[in-house]
Amino acid sequence: CAMLSYADAPVPILAGFAESHQRFWDRLARPGTGWTRAERVTTPREARAAARRAQCCERRSALSPRIVADPHTTVTDLPDAAVEVAHAVTRDAVRLTGRWYESRLVDGLSDGQYVEIVGTVVALVSIDQFCRAVAVPEHPLPAPLPRAPTRYRRPCLTAP
């Protein structure tokens, strides 16, 4: 994967921004705890698609997102629940609730998968917005590295 750079920006950009964004890009290419390497790279494809889709804009401006009944059009083979999370976090995060989160678990996502999607999308959207703000193109997504997800979960602490 080519190193991220802001050398072509019309304004000077501190090197720390490119270094920080590069660290995320490097992590994105690796498998996570709940998603394969390919799924981790396709999640940002869904987020970028949501940022550009008219239907996602309609959902955001509607009084309730459920008013727009048309299902999400996908650009990947991610499960529908994962697509819903990627699109909603990208376009309408302010209206997400605990109840909405619980329904994604009922739809088949694990809590770890949900957290991984949200973290990935938030970082990607932030970096893409940064690129727009400094007038440089979005960075191409990295090629996935060949490893399986770890499925690691931290042991929970319980009260005595």
pLDDT tens string 12-35: 999 999 999 999 999 998 888 888
Integer Cα distance of 113 and 135 in angstroms: 33
Residue carrying structure tokens 């390919």 = 38
- Going by C-alpha positions, the residue among 49, 33, 47 that lies closest to residue 112 is 33
Six-digit token string for 92: 């309408």
pLDDT beyond 50 at 159:
no
Q: Output the DSSP codes for 58-109.
A: HHHHSSSGGG--SPPP-SS---HHHHHHHHHHHHHGGG--HHHHHHHHHTT-
What was the pLDDT predicted at 157?
A: 45
For 113-150, the pLDDT digits (tens) are 999 999 999 999 999 999 999 999 999 998 877 766 77
Integer Cα distance of 49 and 74 in angstroms: 8
Residue carrying structure tokens 């893409």 = 128
Torsion of CA 40, 41, 47, 50, to 10 degrees: -120
pTM of the model: 0.82
What was the pLDDT predicted at 132?
A: 95
